[in-house]
């Protein structure tokens, strides 16, 4: 049997290049982009970089299983850089990537790029580079360019003629630090999610197709069929009853998971409402809200939630639109009556908002 170390050497010898894997949340793609560009430029293209969110890097191929491809690249990678911003975000997928990398190949080096006040507890003893501190970036840059063992199977430094503290290394570190500083908010403080949030994504081609559909129902059905989840917070996962949402997972799978947990609830009203808001926004029209309500997947949560499209963003370089959706929370009493604002009395019977009924 070939050892993990030998397997790494064989794979890198076959490819002729070491592989560095950037693990990051989709929302932190700009930071990952800066890292990828720095690694590619400073190595002269001698280092392969896997970044699942970039079309310019190695990334999952269409028509192939995402999980299997990620495992293969994680097994090949001798260095994994984890872009870590805030502990309040969901890191389950990134932790899975780092876990696969180290379990499958124990000699894989994990570097935590700390972009805020927190460090993941599970990697508190790993190499931690504070992206906000120029000295940390200088040490990382020097190690990357001048250490022969940064990529063990490569066998030599990427820039063997550079001094560890030379002008070239200092200049490269300064440029990287400046680029990261533009993206990272120093001393960002504490934050936490108060309502469920998810960001849906539709490509330009999908939006163009939705515009050609004459019937409203056809358009809403198409939105529900093709929309992908590019980001979701912890409250959003709780709402749908999921512990892990993979990058660009179909929104329809979230709906299916909710339906399994809530077979007693009808889903047409709130899903159609959400899809209609997105359909209208595809025409660059302000959506109308009818406040259709849904229950959480958790039985202990007696609140009801109304999906609200709060923001639309076009990303020309990637040819897709993003749709930010918050699920506004309405408290209910034991009889299901809504409680609105801070008034300690019954405000409206269930679904009165969406039906336009007056309070009792």
pLDDT digits (tens, 9 = 90+) for 217-232: 999 999 999 999 988 9
pLDDT of residue 337: 62
Residue 109 near residue 79, CB atoms below 8 Å: yes
The residues near 147 (Cβ < 8 Å, ≥ 6 apart) are 157
Half-sphere exposure of 189 (CA within 13 A, CB side): 1
Which pLDDT score is estimated for 281?
A: 93
| Region of residue 31 (phi > 0: left; psi between -120 and 50: alpha; otherwise: beta) | alpha
Rounded Cα gap, residues 217 and 294, in angstroms:
20
What distance in Å separates the CA atoms of residue 82 and residue 199, rounded to the nearest whole number? 22
pLDDT at 38: 94
Question: What SS3 class is residue 151?
Answer: coil
The confidence score (pLDDT) of residue 265 equals 72
State the helix-helix crossing angle for 251-261 and 216-226, rounded to 10 degrees: 90
Q: Six-digit token pair at 31?
A: 């930071």
In the chain, the N- to C-terminal Cα span, in Å, equals 75
- In this prediction, residue 151 carries a pLDDT of 86
Which two structure tokens, joined as six digits, stand for 12?
């890198």
Instruction: List residues bridging with 48 in a β-sheet.
Output: 19
List Cβ neighbours of 176 (8 Å cut-off, separation of 6 or more): 34, 38, 137, 141
C-alpha 176 chain-centroid distance: 23
pTM of structure: 0.53
Residues of the chain with pLDDT under 70: 1-16, 53-68, 104-106, 124-125, 185-191, 266-267, 332-360
The pLDDT value recorded for residue 86 is: 83
User: What is d(CA 94, CA 173) in angstroms, rounded to the nearest whole number?
Assistant: 26
């Amino acid at each position: 049997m070939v050892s993990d170390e030998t397997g790494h050497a064989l794979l890198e010898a076959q490819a002729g290049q070491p592989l560095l894997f950037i693990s990051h949340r989709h929302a932190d793609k700009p930071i990952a982009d800066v890292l990828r560009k720095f690694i590619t430029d400073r190595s002269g293209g001698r280092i392969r970089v896997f970044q699942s969110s970039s079309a310019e890097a190695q990334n999952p191929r269409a028509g192939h299983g995402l999980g299997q491809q990620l495992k293969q690249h994680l097994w090949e990678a001798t260095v994994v850089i984890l872009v870590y911003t805030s502990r309040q975000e969901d890191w389950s997928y990134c932790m899975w990537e780092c876990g696969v990398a180290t379990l499958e190949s124990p000699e894989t080096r994990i570097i935590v790029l700390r972009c805020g006040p927190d460090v993941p507890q599970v990697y508190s003893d790993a190499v931690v580079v504070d992206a906000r501190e120029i000295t940390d970036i200088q040490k990382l840059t020097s190690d990357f360019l001048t250490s022969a063992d940064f990529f063990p199977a490569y066998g030599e430094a990427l820039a063997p003629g550079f001094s560890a503290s030379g002008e070239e290394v200092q200049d490269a570190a300064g440029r990287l630090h400046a680029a990261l500083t533009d993206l990272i908010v120093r001393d960002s403080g504490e934050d936490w999610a108060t309502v469920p949030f998810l960001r849906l994504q539709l490509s330009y081609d999908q939006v163009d197709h939705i515009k050609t559909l004459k019937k409203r129902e056809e358009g809403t059905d198409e939105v529900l069929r093709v929309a992908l989840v590019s980001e979701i917070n912890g409250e959003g996962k709780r709402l749908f009853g999921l512990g892990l949402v993979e990058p660009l997972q179909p929104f329809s799978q979230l709906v299916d998971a909710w339906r399994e947990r809530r077979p007693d609830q009808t889903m047409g009203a709130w899903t159609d409402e959400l899809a209609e808001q997105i359909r209208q926004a595809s025409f660059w029209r302000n959506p109308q809200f009818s406040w259709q309500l849904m229950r959480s997947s958790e039985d202990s949560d007696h609140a009801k939630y109304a999906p609200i499209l709060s923001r639309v963003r076009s990303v020309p370089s990637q040819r897709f639109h993003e749709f930010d959706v918050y699920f506004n929370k309405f408290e209910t009493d034991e009889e299901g009556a809504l409680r609105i604002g801070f008034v300690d009395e019954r405000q409206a019977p269930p679904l009165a908002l969406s039906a336009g009924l007056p309070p009792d």
